[in-house]
Amino acid sequence: MKAKIHVTLKQGILDPQGKAIEHALDSLGFKNAGNVRVGKYMEVDVNETDKAKADAAVKSMCEKLLANTIIEEYRYELQ
C-alpha cells in the first residue's frame, strides 16, 4: 500500500516560510490569500496488504520520525 503523508506546523505555531509566501502573494496582487502554511509531503510504500496493519505502521512512522509532534501535526491517506 502507498501512504501519502502530510506534515505541517500546528496551528498557532509561527510558520516563517508561510508568512514570507503570504507577503509575496499579497505583493503579487492576490489580496484574497491568507494564512499560508508550508508543510512537507511524503510518499511511503508500505509492504502490507492488511489496511489496519499498514495504518498502524504509518502512524508509528509519523510519531517516531516523520513529524515532531511538539511543533507539527500529520495526516495521511492509504491507497
CB 27 within 8 A of CB 70: no
If binding is defined by CB under 8 A, does position 24 make contact with other proteins?
Answer: no
If binding is defined by CB under 8 A, does position 66 make contact with other proteins?
Answer: yes
Residue closer to other proteins (CB basis): 50 or 63: 63
CB 36 within 8 A of CB 8: no
The residue count for binding other proteins (CB under 8 A) is 12
If binding is defined by CB under 8 A, does position 70 make contact with other proteins?
Answer: yes
H-type helices in the chain, by residue range? Answer: 16-27, 51-61
If binding is defined by CB under 8 A, does position 60 make contact with other proteins?
Answer: no
